[in-house]
Amino acid sequence: MRISDVARTAGCSVRAIRHLHETGAVPEPARTPGNYRDYTVRDLAAVLRARALIDAGVPLSHIHSPNAIEHSLELLDKQIAHLSRQRDRLSALKEAPLGMPNDVRTRLVDVLGDTEFVRGETESFDLMALTGVATPATWDQLRANLADPACVEATEEFALAWEAGDVDKLAELLPRGIMRDLTGTLVPGDVPLTAGDTEYPEVAEKLAGEFRD
């Protein structure tokens, strides 16, 4: 079997096959009297195995590692999980281009009013959605919170305390307002925001200090 036949079967270029031999990832096959590589079925299988591992992300230097296939499967699982998260985010954006689901956005305004505080909360929830921090469970919990009169009342008090800069009151009300039980529904994120990016940076910094302590 010629190298061109092997390359066609493996779905790669002849140059890629030669590179496998040059790096030692796949042993050189025997040669014909005319000095052409003469591939056997075993040689072809070695090339196909190497290409399968490389396509899955395994470095050439790890091709002969005893756990190469296990490592390949781990890489694929990570890729699948990443693509699944991307698909979920795109599906969510298709339904709600601004981030937060439209029914939650409408409910937030209906229950708490179209105030500066609510607009700020809406922007925060949109950011959580767009950065992938929020999950479907986040919106389910938020819907439940907005349907709870006690939770709504605590949120209204929180808005007043926020404007007044009453850090003690904020710390007391936060677990009882619309953010109630949301933390456990979120996934880790890395958004480079600070207290200075909020509408009331002094209050936000004090409140963050309370929770750090």
pLDDT at position 170:
83
Please report the pLDDT score of residue 207 as a whole number: 45
> Would you state the pLDDT for residue 30?
93
AA letter at 208:
A
Say if residues 187 and 133 touch (Cβ distance below 8 Å). Answer: yes
Average pLDDT over residues 110-120: 89
- Any residues with CB less than 8 A from the CB of 118 and at least 6 apart, and which? 108, 109, 112, 159
Q: Cα Rg for the chain, rounded, in angstroms?
A: 29
pLDDT at site 191 = 57
Confidence grade of residue 62 (pLDDT, cut at 50, 70, 90) = confident
Q: Report the amino acid identity of residue 32.
A: T
Q: Which of 16-25, 103-112, 157-166 has the lowest mean pLDDT?
A: 157-166
Domain boundaries of the chain, sorted by first residue: 3-73, 97-212
What is the predicted pLDDT for the residue at 55? 85
- CATH code 1.10.760.10 for 3-73: no
pLDDT exceeds 70 at position 99: yes
Report the mean per-residue pLDDT for the chain.
84
Q: Is the pLDDT of residue 205 over 60?
A: no
Judged against a pLDDT cut of 90, whether residue 124 lies above it is answered with no
Average pLDDT score over residue span 13-38: 92
**With bands split at pLDDT 50, 70 and 90, how would you rate the model's confidence at 212?**
very low
So what's the pLDDT on residue 189?
67
Q: Sign of torsion, CA 9 15 18 20?
A: negative
